A = this chain, B = another copy of it.
Amino acid sequence: MNLNFDSQQLAFRDELRAFLRDHLPADIRTRMRDGDHSHIREDISDWQKILHRQGWGAPAWPKEFGGPGWSKPQQYIFDVECALADAPEQLAFGLKMVGPVIMRYGNAEQQQRFLPRIVAADDWWCQGYSEPGSGSDLASLRTRAERAGNDYIVNGQKVWNTLGQFANWIFCLVRTGNGGKPQQGISFLLIDMRTPGVKVQPTRLLDGGFEVNEIWFENVRVPMGNLIGEENRGWTYAKFLLGHERSNVAGIGAIKRELLRLKQIAARTQGETASLLHDPIFATRIAQVEIELRALEIISLRAMFEAERNSAPGPEASILKTRGTEIRQRISELQIDALGEAALTIAPRIDDDTPRAMLDYLNLRKLSIFGGSNEIQRNIIAQRILGL
């Protein structure tokens, strides 16, 4: 048993750090650091293209589909280093979600058509799962696809489509069959968002930003060639995707970055007798969360080790998701607590961290809600891990 990376892995990390230092554009890095999403579309796209040129566009994909052939620890290191360097997060919807589904269940034509364009940032994918009436209870979805010749006619509404305002493709769960359990009769369909009848409406969130959307489908004609796998078997593919989506789900890199930011705020903020970093009460809170992060990192590495040795990630991902989001939210709370009354001012900018800390705090409430709420995760832990 050995908790540390070996020398090859450390060398890989150093290589990444050098690359990030040299190739991550300063303006992108600055915007990401400041929480400035005014150019988010270009920033994500440009960075993806830079990675693609380096051959690192799809860190988790096998070589045959354009991946770098990295081991899981390498992918993990890549994730952490990119986050620590304030690189834009790569878009998960193509790379971590629909991509793996197409690799596993798509036909050769679909693989050739879609996969290279994901890595090259030619397509921007979004996810069409949730609906107004089906959030946690995904299987109750009601968007329908009806056969009409060689096409499907799609009608319905999707919600919470993250960054869908920039997307040209959406992968959807749609209802193609009736009867039986609600999980039956669901199909997995790829839809070109430029098709007539697709309407996108960004949703204003509590932090004033627009990052999710509502999408309406009104008699949208989708070729049958855009169906993944078999009709009515979409639930199987969705479940596969949910498992796949959750590698390095704890988000260790971003948590480390925000912990560092917290410490910097604390170091420059005066407490009762010293800076908050040396204030007994506040420093104890920082110490607490840093210790919890150390534990979570070991849990993550162990889950990764077991996954590499055995098989696909199991329900343990629910532990990583829950603890990762709890710790991330806790750090966000501590950032505003450190700033005190100054945190209330969200515009105009006072200094680098103040407005961002509060907007982050608001925005990150989503972490325990989206992607399977933490209540759902605890259900999964109790039922699938503990067998209750």
Decide yes or no whether A6 CB sits under 8 A from chain B. no
A64 adjacent to chain B (CB < 8 Å): no
Kindly list chain B residues whose C-beta atoms are within 8 Å of the C-beta of A284: 281
Instruction: Indicate if A272 sits at the interface (CB-CB under 8 A).
Output: yes
Measured between beta carbons, the chain B residues less than 8 angstroms from A281 are 280-281, 284
Interface size class of A (residues with CB under 8 A): under 10
A256-312 residues with Cβ-Cβ distance < 8 A to B are 272, 279-281, 284
Which chain B residue lies CB-closest to A280?
A: B280
The smallest beta-carbon distance between A135 and chain B, in angstroms, is 19
Minimum C-beta distance from A293 to chain B (A): 21
Bound Cα distance A272, B280 (Å) = 10
State the main secondary structure of chain A at its contact with B: helix
A279 contact set on B, CB distance < 8 A? 280
Q: How far is the CA of A284 from the CA of B285 in the complex (A)?
A: 13
- A281→B281 CA distance, assembly (Å): 5
User: Closest approach, in angstroms, between the C-beta of A106 and any C-beta of chain B?
Assistant: 45
Residue among A272, A280, A281, A284 with the highest chain B CB neighbour number at 10 A: A280
Task: Report A84-113 residues with CB < 8 Å from chain B CB.
Answer: none
Query: How far, in whole Å, are A183 and B176 apart by their CA atoms in the complex?
Result: 49
- A284 CA to B281 CA, complexed, in Å: 8
Expressed in whole angstroms, the Cα–Cα distance for A272 and B283 within the complex equals: 14
Inside 8 A of A280's CB, which chain B residues have their CB? 272, 279-281
- A25: min CB distance to chain B, Å: 44
- How far is A202 from B284 in the complex, measured between Cα atoms in Å? 45
The CA of A284 and the CA of B284, in the complex, are separated in Å by 12
Question: Once bound together, how far apart are the Cα atoms of A280 and B273, in whole Å?
Answer: 11
Q: A174 to B279: give the CA distance in the assembly, Å.
A: 60
Q: Which residues of B contact A272 (CB under 8 A)?
A: 280
A281 to chain B, nearest CB (A): 5
Question: Interface readout for A113-146 with B: 1 if CB under 8 Å, 0 if not?
Answer: 0000000000000000000000000000000000
Q: Give complex CA distance A105, B159 in Å.
A: 60
CB under 8 Å from chain B, chain A span 132-176: none
**A317-346: which residues lie under 8 A (CB-CB) from chain B?**
none
Chain B residue with the shortest CB-CB distance to A271: B280
* Chain B residue nearest to A283 in the complex (CB): B281
Looking at the assembled complex, report how far the CB atom of A238 sits from the nearest CB atom of chain B, in whole angstroms: 31
Interface centre among A272, A279, A281 (most CB of B within 10 A): A281
Q: How far is the CB of A254 from chain B (nearest CB, A)?
A: 29
- Minimum CB distance partner of A279 in chain B: B280
> Please, how many angstroms separate the alpha-carbon atoms of A279 and B284 in the complex?
13
Minimum Cβ distance to chain B for residue A276 (Å): 12
Looking at the assembled complex, report how far the CB atom of A388 sits from the nearest CB atom of chain B, in whole angstroms. 15
CA distance A280 to B281 in the complex (A): 7
Q: What distance in Å separates the Cβ of A88 from its nearest Cβ neighbour in chain B?
A: 39
Q: How far is the CA of A284 from the CA of B279 in the complex (A)?
A: 13
- Residue in chain B with minimal CB distance to A282: B280
CB of A382 to closest CB in B, whole Å: 15
- State the Cβ distance, A224 to closest chain B Cβ, in Å: 46
The docked-state distance in angstroms from the alpha carbon of A327 to that of B15 is: 54
Among residues of B, the one whose C-beta sits closest to the C-beta of A272 is: B280
State A281–B272 Cα separation when bound (angstroms): 12
A and B contact pairs by CB, cutoff 8 A, 6 listed: A272-B280, A279-B280, A280-B280, A280-B281, A281-B281, A281-B284
Which 6 A/B pairs are nearest by Cβ-Cβ distance?
A: A280-B280, A280-B281, A281-B281, A281-B284, A272-B280, A279-B280
